[in-house]
């Protein structure tokens, strides 16, 4: 009798769990219609009174209210302005946490100047508070990883900003190798690299060694460099001064490797060379502090580099103190206030960023078949006083705070 | 006098210096936000000899022939911004020898040619409280400056009180920054921090009493003690304590110390103000807050909130803003007000917090902080709504003189950045439009 009772209880529990599970699945995959007075699809001109239909986590349809009929079982969410989920083209959050204590700062290992074997996803904390923070402003995808404070600090990765663990959120496990040329990439304390010339020599020596590497015995560094030499992954080269930009171009040419420029506050000094290379620029945060190698940065850099015909994205970058992270929406806003057109400022944190990161098949615009990642605002997304009213990732409402 | 190379306004200043008496200048047609009083849509602002003569509605107004008329249609004019906590001009206060150094003056350290001062002008800041850092319980005396143009020495930027003394406060800090376990005489805990500060104020009370007892008999005066002199000024309310404080318990410690010693205090940063807003309001103590784009960066700011402005406004506490430059950049100081509004503050109180609230905190509300007849002609000309990201500060005026003009190439360079923007400035070449050499 007792065992039977137990059996019934456990049966009931299984049944209840099953119901909860089914309900939660339904909730996650609820079909949603997002209505916006202005919908920036980033595939063309913004749509006035537009609708985005979401089915099973993907974008099902995009168009005007006249073109699209919302099925009766779709949950309707309304916003003044609708954009694709924002992409932060370069950050360190998830590796560096908000407390700024040794236990939550994982974006730099200082033991050696060249460590391409350090995988970002072995350190990524998907539940870090700063990720939740930027998600509340509409950021849905981040390119994050090892910070620009060593010659080669490690790998970067690309992740969505919602999920419980690294495997669930990762889009690209190894996106780029983080390289820093110039002052910030010096080792200090009498160690190498101690000069710009030494930085280039050390980097070249590694690439030459990798060219001769046969795979036995296994060498984690060489395996990564070979991917670079095979043009499978680019170097994310953080450079500010014009001479460092030229060094990076020289090395790229010597080894026929791919680069993505990062920072590049003196890009306009050598813009013809950058343009000829075809390499894109993830421009320094607009509000970054002038100083050090960044002494000549300008609020107008993004507008000017884009104006010269070089593909750009914007970033929150790396911060060592306060604010512990910038918010890429705010950096784009300031660029929009200083010479970058509204479309291009939004592009630099959506579709143009997606293209540079090689993920535009999945995110960056509101187009049928893409991931349903959406940011919603109660006004011009760039105005200081506008709020983000909601964020959707993979068709799931992941933030409803008004921020 | 190369100044007549630059803008029209400076040409006026040149002419005026010839005549000895400045001509009246009136800005007509702008939306004027006087801060005290309602905004005026089609307003005028009349200035002369560095002072505001009159403001009002421009409709039907006729100006005398000796008045220079400036068309300001489509612009917004508001008082020059006041930054109640900044580190521009490379200030250096206390050294590592002890945790409490009231004797140290940043007056003796400032570089008046630093580009950071000009960046502040570009951001519309006309009055600023420049402070030493927060790595000490007391890192020394602060300085209230007017960001006038053409300064060759610190004296050119000082403000004087009615007794003819240059104005400034004194910087205190609690929380983790001044705590240095094993750092000699520095505190290792919060309680020790409070005890060390109390000990010094009690000493200062005794010093003050000795002076009072001596009366006119100079032989009975205690030997001069620079640290005690500064603390006595503080006890007398002549020197405002600018108290760096973040977490709720540290904020309450400041209120406790204030109550015990009766000094005038401004809570600086006040990251967890939202947790103890009622207590702050009850103590009738003003707060100078900072808008930071994300929480954290250190343990005691993990709960910093951009709702602090709204929380303090709600309980009726006086709240102003600061840049803490270089923590936030002076050039976009107005953004702080915008972000505060985003997080629940009223537009009126946010703009008040950029101007008048800070004037009150620096004891100069009779002189600056609003556009009212008789006050200093410190104002900014904006291209649009002060809280919009698309708005630029077009001009900054201090005491009737144009100190920043976005149309001037060198001023533009300061405002947006670029090659040479960070170099020390040669003030007498301020308006020179060309290659000034020397690596610029």
Q: Tokens 């505001």 label which residue?
A: B52
Given a contact cutoff of 8 angstroms between Cβ atoms, the answer to whether B140 and B93 are in contact is yes
Given a contact cutoff of 8 angstroms between Cβ atoms, the answer to whether A142 and A158 are in contact is yes
Task: Select the residue from A104, A323, A342, A378 to test the B interface by mutation, using most B Cβ atoms within 10 A.
Answer: A323
Residue A77 pairs in a beta bridge with: A34
Closest CA to B208 of B243, B176, B239, B172: B239
For the stretch B311-358, pLDDT in tens is 999 999 999 999 999 999 999 999 999 999 999 999 999 999 999 999
Query: Are B294 and A323 within 8 A, CB to CB?
Result: yes
Kindly state the tokens that stand for A262: 């990062």
Cis peptide before A205 (omega within 30 of 0): no
Given a contact cutoff of 8 angstroms between Cβ atoms, the answer to whether A382 and A333 are in contact is yes
Q: Answer yes or no: is pLDDT of B13 > 60.
A: no
Task: Select the residue from B294, B307, B331 to test the A interface by mutation, using most A Cβ atoms within 10 A.
Answer: B294
CB atoms within 10 A of CB A58: 15
- Determine the number of helices (DSSP H) and then strands (DSSP E) in chain A: 11, 16
B296: nearest CA partner in chain A: A98
DSSP class per residue in B127-192: EEEE---SSSSEEEE-EEEE--SS-SSGGGGB-B-TTSPBP--EEEE-SSTT--TTSTTS-SSHHH
For the stretch A45-79, pLDDT in tens is 999 999 999 999 999 999 999 999 999 999 999 99
Q: Is A300 on the interface with B (CB under 8 A)?
A: yes
**What are the CA-CA distances from residue A320 to residues A182, A317, A381, B250, B268 (Å)?**
18, 10, 27, 24, 22
Given a contact cutoff of 8 angstroms between Cβ atoms, the answer to whether A324 and A107 are in contact is no
Taken as a whole, chain B contains a residue count of 440
pTM: 0.93
For the stretch A76-105, pLDDT in tens is 999 999 999 999 999 999 999 999 999 999
Given a contact cutoff of 8 angstroms between Cβ atoms, the answer to whether B391 and B102 are in contact is no
For the stretch A264-292, pLDDT in tens is 999 999 999 999 999 999 999 999 999 99
Q: Tell me B429's DSSP state.
A: G
For the stretch A350-373, pLDDT in tens is 999 999 999 999 999 999 999 999
Q: Answer yes or no: is pLDDT of A3 > 60.
A: no
Q: Measure the CA–CA gap between A353 and A370, rounded to whole angstroms.
A: 15
For the stretch B367-390, pLDDT in tens is 999 999 999 999 999 999 999 999
Mean pLDDT, to the nearest integer, of B266-294? 98
B387: nearest CA partner in chain A: A384
For the stretch A131-190, pLDDT in tens is 999 999 999 999 999 999 999 999 999 999 999 999 999 999 999 999 999 999 999 899
Task: Select the residue from A384, A387, A388, A402 to test the B interface by mutation, using most B Cβ atoms within 10 A.
Answer: A384
Given a contact cutoff of 8 angstroms between Cβ atoms, the answer to whether B318 and B349 are in contact is no
Q: Answer yes or no: is pLDDT of B437 > 50.
A: no
- Place B425 in a pLDDT band, splitting at 50, 70 and 90: confident
Residues in A touching B388 (Cβ below 8 Å): 383-384
- Place A251 in a pLDDT band, splitting at 50, 70 and 90: very high
Mean predicted lDDT score pLDDT of chain A: 95
Q: Is the ipTM of this complex over 0.95?
A: no
pLDDT at B183: 86
pLDDT at A20: 56
Given a contact cutoff of 8 angstroms between Cβ atoms, the answer to whether B148 and B398 are in contact is yes
For the stretch B88-112, pLDDT in tens is 999 999 999 999 999 999 999 999 9
Mean predicted lDDT score pLDDT of chain B: 93
The closest CB to that of B297, out of A298, A324, A385, belongs to: A324
User: CA of A99 to nearest chain B CA: how many angstroms apart?
Assistant: 5
Given a contact cutoff of 8 angstroms between Cβ atoms, the answer to whether B94 and B55 are in contact is no
């Amino acid at each position: 009798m007792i065992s039977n009772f137990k059996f019934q209880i456990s049966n009931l529990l299984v049944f209840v769990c099953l119901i909860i599970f089914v309900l939660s699945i339904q909730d996650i995959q609820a079909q949603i219609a997002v209505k916006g007075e202005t919908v920036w699809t980033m595939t063309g001109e913004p749509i006035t009174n537009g609708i985005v239909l979401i089915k099973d986590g993907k974008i099902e349809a995009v168009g005007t209210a006249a073109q699209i009929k919302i099925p009766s079982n779709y949950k309707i969410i309304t916003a003044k302005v609708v954009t694709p989920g924002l992409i932060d083209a370069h950050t360190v959050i998830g590796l560096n946490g908000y407390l700024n204590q040794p236990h939550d700062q994982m974006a730099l290992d200082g033991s050696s100047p060249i460590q391409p074997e350090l995988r970002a996803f072995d350190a990524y904390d998907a539940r870090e508070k700063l990720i939740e923070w930027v998600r509340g402003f509409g950021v849905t995808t981040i390119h994050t990883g090892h910070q620009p404070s060593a010659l080669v600090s490690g790998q970067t990765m690309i992740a969505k900003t919602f999920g419980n663990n690294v495997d669930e959120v990762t889009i690209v496990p190894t996106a780029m190798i983080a390289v820093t040329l110039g002052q910030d990439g010096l080792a200090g304390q009498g160690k190498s690299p101690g000069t710009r010339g030494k930085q280039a020599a050390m980097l070249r020596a590694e690439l030459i060694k990798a060219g001769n590497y046969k795979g036995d015995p296994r060498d984690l560094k060489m395996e990564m460099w070979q991917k670079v030499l095979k043009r499978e992954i680019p170097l994310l080269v953080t450079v500010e001064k014009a001479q460092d930009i030229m060094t990076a171009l020289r090395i790229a040419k010597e080894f026929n490797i791919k680069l993505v420029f990062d920072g590049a506050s003196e890009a306009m000094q050598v813009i013809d060379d950058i343009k000829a290379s075809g390499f894109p620029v993830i421009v320094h945060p607009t509000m970054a502090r002038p100083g050090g190698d960044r002494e000549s940065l300008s609020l107008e850099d993004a507008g000017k580099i884009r104006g010269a015909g070089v593909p750009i994205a914007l970033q929150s970058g790396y911060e060592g103190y306060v604010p512990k992270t910038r918010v890429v929406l705010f950096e784009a806003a300031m660029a929009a206030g200083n010479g970058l057109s509204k479309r291009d400022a939004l592009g630099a944190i959506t579709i143009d960023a997606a293209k540079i990161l090689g993920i535009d098949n999945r995110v960056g615009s509101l187009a049928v078949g893409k991931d349903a990642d959406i940011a919603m605002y109660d006004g011009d997304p760039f105005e200081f006083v506008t709020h983000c009213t909601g964020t959707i990732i993979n068709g799931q409402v992941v933030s409803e705070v008004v921020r | 006098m190369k100044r007549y190379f630059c803008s029209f306004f400076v040409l006026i200043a040149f002419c005026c210096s010839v005549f000895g008496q400045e001509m009246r200048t009136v800005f007509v047609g702008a939306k004027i936000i006087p801060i005290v009083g309602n905004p005026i849509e089609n307003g005028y602002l009349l200035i002369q000899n560095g002072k505001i003569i009159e403001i009002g509605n421009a409709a039907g107004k006729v100006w005398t022939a000796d008045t220079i008329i400036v068309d300001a249609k489509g612009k917004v004019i508001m008082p020059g911004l006041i930054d109640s906590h900044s580190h521009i001009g490379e200030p250096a206060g206390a050294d590592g020898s002890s945790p409490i150094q009231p004797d140290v003056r940043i007056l003796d350290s400032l570089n008046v040619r630093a580009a950071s001062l000009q960046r502040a002008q570009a951001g519309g800041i006309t009055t600023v409280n420049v402070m030493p850092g927060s790595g000490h319980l007391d890192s020394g005396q602060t300085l209230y400056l007017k960001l006038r143009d053409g300064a060759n020495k610190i004296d050119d930027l000082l403000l004087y009180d009615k007794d003819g003394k240059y104005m400034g406060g004194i910087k205190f800090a609690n929380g983790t920054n001044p705590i240095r376990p094993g750092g000699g005489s520095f505190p290792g805990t919060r309680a020790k921090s409070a005890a060390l500060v109390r000990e010094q104020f009690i000493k200062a009370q005794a010093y003050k009493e000795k002076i009072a007892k001596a009366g006119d008999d100079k032989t009975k005066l205690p030997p001069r003690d620079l640290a005690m002199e500064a603390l006595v000024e503080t006890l007398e309310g002549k020197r405002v304590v600018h108290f760096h404080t973040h977490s709720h318990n540290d904020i309450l410690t400041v209120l406790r110390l204030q109550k015990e010693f009766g000094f005038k205090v401004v809570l600086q940063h006040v990251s967890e103000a939202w947790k103890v807003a009622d207590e702050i309001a009850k103590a009738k103590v003003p707060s100078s807050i900072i808008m930071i784009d994300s929480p954290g960066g250190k343990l005691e700011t993990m709960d910093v909130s951009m709702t602090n402005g709204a929380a303090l406004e709600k309980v009726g506490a006086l709240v102003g803003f600061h840049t803490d430059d270089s923590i936030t950049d002076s050039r976009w100081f107005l953004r702080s007000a915008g972000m505060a509004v985003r997080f629940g503050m009223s537009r009126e109180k946010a703009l008040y917090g950029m101007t008048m609230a800070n004037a009150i905190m620096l004891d100069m509300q009779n002189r600056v902080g609003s556009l009212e007849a008789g006050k200093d002609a410190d104002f900014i000309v904006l291209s649009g709504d002060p809280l919009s990201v698309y708005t630029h500060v077009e001009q900054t005026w201090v005491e009737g003189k144009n100190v920043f003009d976005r149309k001037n190439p060198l001023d533009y360079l300061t405002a947006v950045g670029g090659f040479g923007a960070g170099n020390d400035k040669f003030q007498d070449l301020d308006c020179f439009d060309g290659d000034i050499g020397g690596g610029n």
